[in-house]
Amino acid sequence: MIGLNAKNVIQYIDLVSLGTVSMSICHPRESFRLAILKGISRVVMVHNHPSGNCEFSPEDTTLTKRFYDAGELLGIKVLDHIIISTTKRIK
């Protein structure tokens, strides 16, 4: 989770969860904890896909909606959800 202030300046980067090769357990309660403590107004969700496929899974879409709704309740705007990965090209 990346926490930003009202001017979109990064205030912290927090590792919220470490998952397995195929899934991670991530709950808004733990994910927004540091944002609440630091008085952060905006966050960006970031996670990786070890498979190399950066397409959103149905679970990713559900998680994004859940976090967006939790952020609305807390007054913390979820600006984006980014999936990162590395791929190796075989020639």
Is 24 among the domain residues?
Answer: yes
Is 27 among the domain residues?
Answer: yes
Which residue type, as a one-letter code, is found at position 79? L
Is 89 among the domain residues?
Answer: no
- Indicate which CATH number applies to the domain containing 64: 3.40.140.10
Is 41 among the domain residues?
Answer: yes
Give this prediction's pTM: 0.85
Is 44 among the domain residues?
Answer: yes
Q: What band does 2 get if pLDDT is binned at 50, 70 and 90?
A: very high
The predicted-structure confidence for 23-78, as pLDDT tens digits, reads as follows 778 889 999 999 999 999 999 999 988 878 788 889 889 999 999 999 999 999 99
Is 91 among the domain residues?
Answer: no
The predicted-structure confidence for 70-87, as pLDDT tens digits, reads as follows 999 999 999 999 998 876
Is 36 among the domain residues?
Answer: yes
What residues make up the domain containing 28? 2-84
Q: How far is CA 65 from CA 9, 15, 20, 40, in A?
A: 24, 20, 22, 19
pLDDT of the residue at 25: 82
Is 90 among the domain residues?
Answer: no
Place of tokens 């190399």: 52
Smallest Cα–Cα separation from 90: which of 63, 62, 52, 60? 52
pLDDT of the residue at 66: 95
Q: How many domains does the chain have?
A: 1
